Amino acid sequence: MRKPREEMIAETRAKLIAAGRCAFGTVGYAEASMDDFTAEAGLTRGALYHHFGDKKGLLQAVIQQIDAEMTARLHTISAGAPSRWEGFVEECVAYIEMALEPEIQRIMFRDGPAVLGDVSQWPTSNGCIAALSHSIEQLKDDGVMADIDTETAARLINGASSHAALWIAKSETPEETSKRAVRGFRTLLDGLRVKA
């Protein structure tokens, strides 16, 4: 065994992140007891403080992981679309739909911003904003999208998406509400499209 040491460490970190992610995603950040979910991972709070400094540090790590996954998913979706505009719209819709998943919603859109401030502000873990910005930039180059500041557009869309997701998730009829939201969202985006 060449370097089993570092592997063990990485594994410990991964186990802590996984346990924290699970706890944060289900009972929420504030109600998640560090003693409890570290024990579930077969460890103690000592390990957590050693690797992440404090509870917020673990949350950061969890968010970073989730953000990376979301960014990857968005990328594959936009890449597989027939046109760039289509890809962009599908990306936005996918963003709403991802925000519907309880874990993503809770961690990325509720507890994350509340505990750490505007998550998309730090250089790390703003992959989703960056992905949206990239798409918008391309569309502007293609002359398909109206003249609007790229980052602003990305953030407005991001905000609309996440709130829509919250709305849907809390709705009594998520299915129907989701359809209404996506439909309205398409209309909103269509307003930004340059008409032929």
Residues that bind its own copies (CB under 8 A): 30, 110-111, 113-115, 117-118, 120-121, 146-149, 151-153, 155-164, 166-167, 169-170, 180-181, 183-185, 187-188, 190-193
- Minimum distance between the CB of residue 123 and DNA, rounded to whole angstroms? 23
- Minimum distance between the CB of residue 87 and its own copies, rounded to whole angstroms? 19
Instruction: Residue 88: count other Cβ atoms within 10 Å of its Cβ.
Output: 24
3-state secondary structure of 193: strand
CA dihedral 57→29→124→146, nearest 10 degrees, is -160
- Minimum distance between the CB of residue 66 and DNA, rounded to whole angstroms? 20
- Minimum distance between the CB of residue 99 and its own copies, rounded to whole angstroms? 11
Looking at beta carbons only, is 22 or 115 nearer to its own copies?
115
Q: Which of 160, 154, 151, 149 is nearest to 186 (CA)?
A: 160
Looking at beta carbons only, is 41 or 185 nearer to its own copies?
185
Residues with Cβ within 8 Å of residue 66, at least 6 apart in sequence:
21, 103, 104, 107, 108
Residue 158 burial by CB count (10 A; 0-12/13-18/19+): exposed, middle or buried?
buried
Looking at beta carbons only, is 37 or 95 nearer to DNA?
37
Looking at beta carbons only, is 34 or 165 nearer to DNA?
34
What's the CA gap between 117 and 120, in Å, rounded?
9
Q: Which residues bind DNA (CB under 7 A)?
A: 3-5, 8-9, 12-13, 32-36, 38, 42-47, 49-51, 54-56
